[in-house]
């Protein structure tokens, strides 16, 4: 027997054993292996679908987050704008009120100064009048101390009155 050239009988039996082995493998091994492969393929497909859904959900959440972030920024900008306007309004009101108070104080001070000036002038006039009267009394008292001086004064006043 030669190992290099197979005989027909050997080929026949090898083919039959191969076919029987194939049938046994197909019935007992291939079905479970193919079932396991199909199950694994389905679980992988489900995992891929879940991953795709999660990716889409993440994109949606990211878009929603961007929208919320933009809204928050817009609200922040609006709040800052309102705060600036309120600050400027309060400053303007405070300045106006301070100006009014300053004007009122200046007006009262001017009025007080004017009143004090009038009072001082009246007091000075009274003092001048009092001093003038005192001086006039002393001068007249000296000039009219004798009867002769009194007659001279009357004559002088009559002459002045007729001349004017």
Give the position of tokens 């990211």.
62
Per-residue pLDDT of 26-83, as tens digits, reads 888 888 888 889 999 999 999 999 999 999 999 999 999 999 999 999 999 999 999 9
6 CB-near residues (< 8 Å, 6+ apart) = 14
Per-residue pLDDT of 114-145, as tens digits, reads 999 999 998 888 888 888 787 777 777 776 66
Report whether pLDDT(164) > 50.
no
Query: How confident is the model at residue 57, as a pLDDT?
Result: 95
109 CB-near residues (< 8 Å, 6+ apart) = none
What is the pTM assigned to this prediction?
0.41
Report whether pLDDT(23) > 60.
yes
Query: How confident is the model at residue 163, as a pLDDT?
Result: 54
């Amino acid at each position: 027997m030669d190992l290099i050239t197979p005989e027909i009988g050997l080929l026949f039996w090898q083919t039959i054993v191969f076919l029987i082995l194939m049938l046994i493998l197909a019935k007992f091994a291939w079905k479970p292996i193919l079932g396991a492969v199909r199950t694994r393929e389905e679980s992988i497909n489900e995992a891929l679908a879940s991953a795709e859904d999660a990716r889409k959900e993440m994109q949606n959440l990211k878009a929603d987050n961007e929208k919320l972030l933009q809204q928050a920024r817009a609200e922040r900008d609006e709040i800052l704008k309102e705060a600036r306007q309120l600050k400027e309004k309060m400053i303007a009101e405070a300045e106006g009120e301070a100006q009014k108070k300053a004007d009122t104080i200046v007006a009262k001070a001017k009025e007080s100064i004017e009143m004090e000036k009038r009072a001082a002038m009246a007091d000075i006039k009274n003092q001048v009048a009092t001093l003038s009267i005192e001086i006039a009394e002393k001068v007249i008292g000296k000039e009219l101390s004798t009867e002769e001086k009194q007659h001279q004064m009357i004559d002088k006043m009559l002459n002045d009155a007729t001349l004017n």
